[in-house]
């Protein structure tokens, strides 16, 4: 039996059958050693203080609402996957968590600290009150982008060392040491003097992960980390993310791939709302929402 199929079957209840179609057994785990069960983490050491929390989050662009009252809590050491079709609002939610987009309404906490957003006369918030607070929060939230966002004119080592040097104000030699450590962690120590154009898409994304790790963040945010990659390159990124999950890092993964979704918890978004949320294996084997069931059937 193939490893990935055995992993899927291990998720099935001891009695009875799952209600999902047989296509679920064809999950593209790409790298054979990236088993679904490896994401089933022990949460016994989680703190009560949430790493991230949002309540009633709303975000519109013009007259088009993308987030419609989203409430979500991510505890320390949790790995949460945010699933959903295109335009469901999942990437917008992630960008709001890092304040790359400022929500129109709602309350946000990062590491127990409430973010200060300006309330307008009509009760909507669309501006930041404390820029220093935002800078401090952003430094604790590592972001891995879909399109890599590497500086093409800088070497891989320089890309990774830039944040520690200019944001954390580390001495240059110390920042270089940190960058070399995390490039080795993602398997790219031998490419540190190369430029992004000399690397494959999978390698560039691993550099993006090393860059986020170099800031020593409390939370890692992944925005569709493999959607820009060829299928044969997805496995190398999956391996790195799995190893980070096994370290107990707090992570939120925005994706449409079920391979990533086998995490501590999964939230399924539809039309700007969280349609269903809960332990991942429960959502995949017993989806309560008809929309989630349709999503799983159409994608897997």
- In the predicted structure, residue 150 carries a pLDDT above the cut 80: yes
Share of the chain above pLDDT 90, in %: 48
In a domain, 16, yes or no: yes
Listed in sequence order, the DSSP H helices in 98-218 are 131-139, 156-166, 172-185, 201-213
Is the model more confident about 14 or about 95? 95
Predicted confidence band at 164 (pLDDT cuts at 50, 70, 90)?
Answer: very high
Q: Which two tokens stand for residue 29?
A: 């785990």
Strand partners for 270 = 273
- In the predicted structure, residue 9 carries a pLDDT above the cut 80: no
The answer to whether the beta carbons of residues 97 and 119 sit under 8 Å apart is no
In a domain, 203, yes or no: no
Predicted confidence band at 237 (pLDDT cuts at 50, 70, 90)?
Answer: confident
Strand partners for 59 = 67
Maximum mean pLDDT: which of 4-13, 187-196, 290-299: 187-196
Interval 169-181: pLDDT, tens: 999 999 999 999 9
- In the predicted structure, residue 77 carries a pLDDT above the cut 80: yes
> What is the Cα–Cα distance from 114 to 49, expressed in whole angstroms?
12
In a domain, 149, yes or no: no
The answer to whether the beta carbons of residues 59 and 261 sit under 8 Å apart is no
In a domain, 280, yes or no: yes
In a domain, 201, yes or no: no
Share of the chain above pLDDT 70, in %: 79
State residue 175 phi and psi, 5-degree precision. Answer: -65, -40
pTM score of the predicted model: 0.80
As for how many domains the chain has, the answer is: 1
Interval 80-90: pLDDT, tens: 999 998 889 99
Q: For residue 116, what pLDDT is reported?
A: 87
In a domain, 160, yes or no: no
> What is the Cα–Cα distance from 212 to 202, expressed in whole angstroms?
16
In a domain, 206, yes or no: no
93-127: b or e for each residue (b if 16 or more CB lie within 10 Å)? bbbbbbbebbbbbbebbbbeeebebeeeeeebbee
244: containing domain: 3-44+75-101+130-140+218-299
CATH number at residue 30: 3.40.50.300
- In the predicted structure, residue 262 carries a pLDDT above the cut 90: no
In a domain, 70, yes or no: no
């Amino acid at each position: 039996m193939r490893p990935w199929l055995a992993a899927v079957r291990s998720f099935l209840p001891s009695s009875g059958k799952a209600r999902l179609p047989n296509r679920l057994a064809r999950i593209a785990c790409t790298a054979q050693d990236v088993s679904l069960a490896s994401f089933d983490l022990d949460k016994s050491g989680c703190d009560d203080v949430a790493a991230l929390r949002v309540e009633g989050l709303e975000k519109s662009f013009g007259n088009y609402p993308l987030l419609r009252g989203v409430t979500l809590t991510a505890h320390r050491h949790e790995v949460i996957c945010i699933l959903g079709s295109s335009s469901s609002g999942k990437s917008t939610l992630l960008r709001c968590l890092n304040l790359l987009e400022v929500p129109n309404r709602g309350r946000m906490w990062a590491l127990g600290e409430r973010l200060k957003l300006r309330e307008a006369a009509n009760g909507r918030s669309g501006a930041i009150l404390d820029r220093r607070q935002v800078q401090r929060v952003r430094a604790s939230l590592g972001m891995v982008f879909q399109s890599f966002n590497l500086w093409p004119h800088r070497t891989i080592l320089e890309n990774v060392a830039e944040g520690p040097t200019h944001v954390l104000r580390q001495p240059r030699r110390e920042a270089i040491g940190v960058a070399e450590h995390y490039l080795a962690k993602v398997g790219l120590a031998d490419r540190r003097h190369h430029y992004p154009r000399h690397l494959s898409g999978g390698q560039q994304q691993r550099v993006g992960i090393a860059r986020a790790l170099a800031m020593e963040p409390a939370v890692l945010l992944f925005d569709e980390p493999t959607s820009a990659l060829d299928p044969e390159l997805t496995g190398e990124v999956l391996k790195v993310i799995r190893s980070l999950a096994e370290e107990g890092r707090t992570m939120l993964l925005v994706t449409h791939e079920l391979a990533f979704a086998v995490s501590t918890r999964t939230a399924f978004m539809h039309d700007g709302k969280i349609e269903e949320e809960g332990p991942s294996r429960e959502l995949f084997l017993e989806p309560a929402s008809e929309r989630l069931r349709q999503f799983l059937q159409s994608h897997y």
